[in-house]
Structure 1
């Protein structure tokens, strides 16, 4: 009945189905949940950050999880192609900070509906509440997929677009990894990325800074050997369990790797630089100037506005400065310590929230076993992968969805290339009713 079955109705699966059908394949899209595009609908805070307009080298740099693998795919379909694709569907886009592209309407639902209309126009059979239980193999190739309650649904090609294990409410529960293994593939270790970081330091446990946001702060991950691993500059949020916010999410994968490498031999920590544009000496001079301008004021009053109030109190405490004494009584040595804490305040961390609470899954189908231009398996004829099921991940900001759309488009095009000239299937095949 079909040339291709796409499993998964997320960003990658929707694009893969559209691409395969656009290139002439008869496509069936299967989604185990009740709706298509659920992850798209909640992305970008419900506004859907469809891609990022950074030049390709910067785009790859923001995909630290094997972004270079996408260079071949970018030669077929890239971020500018994504922009053109959606504008052709009637979705006007606007560019915001850091290259992020959003629909002018600020509605993720508009993006989802435009994609679904596209699939309908291309006569893609779309089925929700349809659970795939496994792949059916025939020799070195595929016969189709086993559908729960239906049996074998035949097709010579299958695209696995099931996502990772993050945000399971959208249907990403790791189903695709088992099917990939059954086809002979290796799965690299799975771990959470773009995830809040946990800490058991006293001032976190006491919740004295819970809810405090630090704007434009540089956050550095330090190994158990006190080596700086990675720095990200953006906003950070202090929570009741540790840290969150864009800068923290970007650092999280390095925390995971550093903790694994430390093997309990020392603390992994985050260092916070509240004045990333200033040298430590400049901060020290600024502090001395405040002391000179308000010598008879209590420290907490003299330094009001210099830092967020609760953060100031924390740093004063760690600098062993009594906030209630007059500013002029504080020796320069302690003021220098305070300046140092402004530039590098450390907090040991002990992990992250679970992979299910992460925005993105690290790890996945090993890329050495996948053709980088077509996303076809090198292990099983007719099998393709796209999206988060692959060992590709990036930072938030439109990078992961770019990887999903690019790999989805390439997989769909690759399918069409495979089925061109293939003989028509004349065996009986299961029919899926209740087309949605």
Structure 2
């Protein structure tokens, strides 16, 4: 039996503590908050999008950085294994759009309570309200930890401290500093899955659009191109497609975002469609005709941006004006000011470099017995349960591969 320490009571830490206890080790979990899974309870607006019900190949397509690192760990515990795990422990899941899986109770608290129950049944010692301040290493081997309440000796330490997102939940990036102190390389850190702020002001907050083409540019270079759902905010743009995009380009200093409001048609096709509707209702106001193509609030914005009078009728509209509208609907461009910060980020982009970690065990290559799991690693994915699954998987592997004599 080995003495195992898990630092952090988030998803990866909970899973690591549980799987380590299954191996018969003496496990102690340290959590700086008064409760376990504080951030976990916020996910999915309190419903907890626990994982995604897709194939492994499809899953890896949604991992933004370092998906190959996960190949080995997913062969040990995949997203489909997580669904089975929850069901076998009395918490069946329900599937929603895009394969997103939620607990049948629709309560993230039930996920946390499940793990609390499993840990207690397996005699895992919980140190609540106790913050770890350092990891103790001697001769390239972990020997224990220091907390704000004392010093402890351990054979294995699993760091599951999370990233820098959701600071209010206790995520402060401690794990990165401990790693750097031990000469374990950490990549640059950025807020991930965040909203975009534009330099232009517009009165469109709350307006959502579906199936919008998104193009991100830096100079003439296209950094990202995708189609999806967006939401206008008081500061700029958000919504699923914007959040997904942010993780890909935030470290590239993008300059412009270009929206294609009718992405299933070319400019000429949009122009022809508009002409047909204008000819069919030539005495109607141009703005009323545009309302059959885009939302009313957006029509007003388009008219104002092109300096076209709202009273203009279809039969008074010039070919040049019509063309300018068609072009704007296909190429609505905004200058990017910046992205929201860690206080609004759902995840952290960057972290402990994966080439510093053994993918089969999550153990640091330089330090015997020291493991890193979850968001502290340089692994991130799009929304849809993918990031949580990375936490479950890396936690599972870290705990289940602790063997007597091998650590």
What TM-score comes out, normalization by structure 1 length? 0.90
Task: Tell me the equivalent position of 2:182.
Answer: 183
Question: Following TM superposition, by how much is the alpha carbon of 1:369 offset from its aligned partner in structure 2, in angstroms?
Answer: 0.7
Q: Distance in 2 between matches of 1:348 and 1:50?
A: 35
Task: Tell me the equivalent position of 1:81.
Answer: 81
Q: Distance in 1 between matches of 2:185 and 2:74?
A: 24
Given candidates 303, 306, 313, the residue that maps to 1:316 is 303
Q: Distance in 2 between matches of 1:182 and 1:2?
A: 25
Task: Tell me the equivalent position of 2:205.
Answer: 210
Q: Distance in 2 between matches of 1:180 and 1:397?
A: 29
Q: Tell me which stretches of 4 or more aligned residues in structure 1 moved more than 6 Å.
A: none
Question: Following TM superposition, by how much is the alpha carbon of 1:285 offset from its aligned partner in structure 2, in angstroms?
Answer: 1.8
Task: Call closer, same or farther: CA 1:254–1:321 in 2, change over 3 Å.
Answer: farther
Q: Distance in 2 between matches of 1:85 and 1:288?
A: 58
Question: Following TM superposition, by how much is the alpha carbon of 1:99 offset from its aligned partner in structure 2, in angstroms?
Answer: 1.2
Is residue 184–residue 380 contact of structure 1 (8 Å, CA) maintained in 2? Answer: no
Per-residue CA distance 1:71-101 (angstroms, 9 max, x = gap): 1111111111111111111111111111111
Equivalent positions of 1:329-408 (< 5 A) are: 329-408=316-395
Task: Tell me the equivalent position of 1:157.
Answer: 156
Q: Distance in 2 between matches of 1:96 and 1:145?
A: 42
Equivalent positions of 1:44-123 (< 5 A) are: 44-123=44-123
Q: Give ranges in structure 2 of 5+ residues lacking alignment.
A: none
Q: Which shifted more, 395-404 or 350-359?
A: 350-359
SS at match of 2:63: coil
What TM-score comes out, normalization by structure 2 length? 0.96
Question: Following TM superposition, by how much is the alpha carbon of 1:380 offset from its aligned partner in structure 2, in angstroms?
Answer: 0.4
Q: Distance in 2 between matches of 1:115 and 1:218?
A: 41
| Structure with greater strand percent | 2
Q: Distance in 2 between matches of 1:336 and 1:55?
A: 45
Q: Which shifted more, 214-223 or 108-117?
A: 214-223
Q: Give ranges in structure 1 of 5+ residues lacking alignment.
A: 263-267, 423-436
Q: Distance in 2 between matches of 1:182 and 1:22?
A: 31
Question: Following TM superposition, by how much is the alpha carbon of 1:287 offset from its aligned partner in structure 2, in angstroms?
Answer: 0.8
Is residue 218–residue 247 contact of structure 1 (8 Å, CA) maintained in 2? Answer: no
Question: Following TM superposition, by how much is the alpha carbon of 1:361 offset from its aligned partner in structure 2, in angstroms?
Answer: 0.5
State the aligned residue count.
407
Task: Tell me the equivalent position of 1:168.
Answer: 167
Question: Following TM superposition, by how much is the alpha carbon of 1:323 offset from its aligned partner in structure 2, in angstroms?
Answer: 2.4
Given candidates 253, 257, 268, the residue that maps to 2:251 is 257
